C-alpha cells in the first residue's frame, strides 16, 4: 500500500495534505514506525452492589503514563462524600487494587485491571452467593415489589427475573465507583496535556445558584470545601436545610451540576458523522449515569428563549499577525466549548440534571408482581440526595470521553508518541493563528 494512503488509514494527526506533500513532521509512515491502528481508550466494568467486588478493565492506555493507586483513591473518596448520603457510605471506604497493566507506577500498554472490594460483602454472603446454596440452607425471600422510577420493573421484565434483587444489584449507583476509578486514570492522561476537569452543584431541590458570573478557573476548588459541592455559601445553607426537610418527610431531592473542562484543545470530535460529534458523546456519557434525565452544553435550553444575536459567540483577534502571542478570542462562551460537534478551544461547560433518588422511605404505591396486590413500594437504605456525589461521577465520565478523544486524535502506543503528535498539531494551529493571507 502506498505510504500516503497507509498514513491516512492510520488516522495520523498531521493530516492527508501534509502526507501527500511528504511534509509530515513525523514521517512515521516512511520510517515504518507508526502502528497500523490508533490506540483507543476503552473500558468495561463488572460487579454488583453487594457482591464481592467491583471491577473495571481499561484498554488503550498509552505506555509510560504514570498510574498509581493514590490519585484513584482520592477520586473514590470524593465520590463517597456529600451531604445527604446514606448509611452505606459509613460501611464502605473505597480503595482500588491495581492487579494488571502497571509496573513500577507506569502503564505498560496492556489492559489495566482495577478492583474495588465491597466491605459489606461479609454480610451478604448468602443472599449474593455465587454458588448454589448448600442443601438445607434457606434461600432469601424474593423481592417482587418494584420501586417507581427505578430499574426494578423494567429489568425484571426484560431479563425474566423473578427476584428484583437480580436487577437492583447491577443497576445500583454503587457501580459508579468503577466509573470514577476509570475516570481517575483518564484524568492522569488529560493532565499530561494540561487539561483539567472540575464540577460544582448549581441546584438542589429548587435552591438555585446564579452561576453565570462564577470564575470557571476557581469554581472547582471552591466546591471542594462545601458539603454540597456549591460555590455559594448562602445557597449551601439553604440546600442543607432542604435536604434535612426532605429526609424528615421520608422523601428525596434531585438537582443540577455543572462540569467545566479547561485546556481542551481545538479539534476534538467531528461533524463528519453523527456519532463522532463531541457534544453528542458528552451527553451520552452523562446520561449513562444513574438518575440523570437531562444534559445541556453551554447556554443549553436557555438558547430557545432569546434571538441568535444573544446566543452566538462573536470572534475577535488579539495581537499582531506574525506574533506568536496572537490569538482568536470569543466575546462569550454560550456554545460551551463546542461548535459543529468539535471542541473550539474555549472552556467546556456541560450541565446535567439528576432526578430525586427512586428509593423513598415514605414509599409510593406499587404492585406485587407475583400476587398483583396493591402495596407500598420496596425500600431499603438509601441516600436522600446524591447530587454532590453525582457531580464527581459526571467529572469522571467527561474525563473518559476527553481521554478517548485525545487518544483518537493524537493517539500513539506511548505517552511520548502522543506528545509528539500533540505538539506538532498545536504548532500548526499556532502558525495558522499568527499568519495572515492577503
Instruction: State the pLDDT at residue 215.
Output: 87
The DSSP bridge pattern shows strands 255-262 and 342-343 to be unpaired
Q: How far is C-alpha 186 from the chain's CA centre?
A: 10
Lowest-pLDDT range, 61-75, 116-130, 212-226, 265-279? 212-226
Q: How many degrees, rounded to 5, is the angle at CA 283 between CA 278 and CA 284?
A: 100
Paired residues of 308 in beta bridges: none
> How far is the C-alpha of 164 from the C-alpha of 148, rounded, in Å?
13
Q: What domains does the chain contain, in order, with CATH numbers?
A: 3-36 (no CATH), 145-425 (3.60.150.10)
Using a 10 angstrom Cβ sphere, with 0-12 exposed, 13-18 middle and 19 or more buried, the burial of residue 388 is buried
Average pLDDT, the chain: 89
**What is the reported pTM?**
0.89
> Sorting pLDDT into bands at 50, 70 and 90, what band is 327?
confident
pLDDT at 259 (0 to 100): 97
In this prediction, residues 264-268 reach a mean pLDDT of: 97
Average pLDDT over residues 116-125: 92
Question: For 181-209, how does the pLDDT look when each residue is reduced to its tens digit (9 = 90+)?
Answer: 999 999 999 999 999 999 999 999 999 99
The DSSP secondary-structure symbol of 119 reads: G
Does residue 113 contact residue 100 with C-beta atoms inside 8 Å?
Answer: yes
What pLDDT was estimated at residue 283? 97
pLDDT, tens only, 138-149: 999 999 999 999
Q: Which helix (H) or strand (E) holds 374?
A: strand 374-376
Q: What's the confidence (pLDDT) of residue 88? A: 53
- Residue 214 has a pLDDT of 85
What are the pLDDT digits (tens) for 332-363?
999 999 999 999 999 999 999 999 999 999 99
pLDDT at residue 434, as a whole number: 87
Percentage of residues of the chain with pLDDT beyond 90: 77
**What percentage of residues in the chain have a pLDDT greater than 70?**
89
Longest CA pairwise span in the chain (Å): 88
Give the confidence band of 1 by pLDDT, cuts at 50, 70, 90. very low
Residue 365 neighbours by CB distance under 10 Å: 9
Amino acid at each position: 500500500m502506498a505510504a500516503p494512503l497507509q498514513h491516512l488509514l492510520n488516522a495520523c494527526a498531521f493530516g492527508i495534505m501534509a502526507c501527500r506533500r511528504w511534509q509530515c513532521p513525523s514521517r512515521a509512515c516512511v520510517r515504518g514506525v507508526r502502528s497500523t491502528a490508533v490506540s483507543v481508550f476503552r473500558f468495561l466494568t463488572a460487579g454488583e452492589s453487594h457482591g464481592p467486588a467491583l471491577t473495571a478493565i481499561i484498554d488503550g492506555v498509552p505506555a509510560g503514563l504514570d498510574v498509581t493507586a493514590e490519585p484513584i483513591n482520592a477520586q473514590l473518596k470524593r465520590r463517597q462524600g456529600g451531604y445527604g448520603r446514606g448509611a452505606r457510605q459509613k460501611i464502605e471506604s473505597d480503595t482500588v487494587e491495581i492487579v494488571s497493566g502497571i509496573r513500577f507506577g507506569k502503564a505498560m500498554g496492556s489492559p489495566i485491571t482495577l478492583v474495588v472490594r465491597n466491605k459489606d460483602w461479609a454480610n451478604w454472603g448468602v443472599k449474593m452467593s455465587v454458588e448454589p446454596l448448600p442443601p438445607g440452607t434457606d434461600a432469601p425471600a424474593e423481592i417482587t415489589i418494584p420501586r417507581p422510577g427505578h430499574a426494578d420493573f423494567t429489568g425484571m421484565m426484560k431479563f425474566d427475573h423473578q427476584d428484583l434483587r437480580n436487577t437492583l444489584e447491577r443497576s445500583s449507583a454503587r457501580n459508579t465507583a468503577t466509573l470514577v476509578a476509570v475516570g481517575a486514570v483518564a484524568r492522569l492522561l488529560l493532565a499530561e496535556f494540561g487539561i483539567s476537569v472540575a464540577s460544582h452543584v448549581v441546584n438542589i431541590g429548587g435552591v438555585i445558584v446564579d452561576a453565570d458570573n462564577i470564575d470557571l478557573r476557581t469554581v472547582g476548588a471552591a466546591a471542594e470545601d462545601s458539603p454540597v459541592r456549591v460555590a455559594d455559601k448562602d445557597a449551601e445553607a439553604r440546600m442543607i436545610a432542604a435536604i434535612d426537610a426532605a429526609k424528615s418527610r421520608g422523601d428525596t431531592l434531585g438537582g443540577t451540576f455543572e462540569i467545566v473542562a479547561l485546556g481542551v484543545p481545538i479539534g476534538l470530535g467531528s461533524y463528519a458523522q453523527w456519532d463522532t460529534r463531541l457534544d453528542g458523546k458528552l451527553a451520552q456519557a452523562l446520561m449513562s449515569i444513574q438518575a440523570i434525565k437531562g444534559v445541556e452544553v453551554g447556554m443549553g435550553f436557555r438558547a430557545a428563549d432569546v434571538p441568535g444575536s444573544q446566543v452566538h459567540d462573536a470572534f475577535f483577534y488579539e495581537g499582531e499577525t506574525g506574533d506568536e502571542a496572537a490569538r482568536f478570542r470569543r466575546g462569550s462562551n454560550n456554545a460551551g466549548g463546542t461548535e459543529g460537534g468539535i471542541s473550539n478551544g474555549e472552556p467546556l461547560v456541560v450541565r446535567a440534571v439528576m432526578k430525586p433518588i427512586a428509593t423513598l422511605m415514605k414509599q409510593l404505591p406499587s404492585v406485587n408482581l407475583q400476587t398483583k396486590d396493591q402495596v407500598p413500594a420496596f425500600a431499603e437504605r438509601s441516600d436522600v440526595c446524591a447530587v454532590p456525589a453525582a457531580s464527581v461521577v459526571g467529572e469522571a465520565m467527561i474525563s473518559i470521553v476527553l481521554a478517548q478523544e485525545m487518544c483518537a486524535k493524537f493517539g500513539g502506543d506511548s505517552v511520548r508518541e502522543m506528545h509528539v503528535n500533540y505538539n506538532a498539531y498545536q504548532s500548526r494551529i499556532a502558525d495558522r493563528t499568527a499568519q495572515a493571507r492577503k
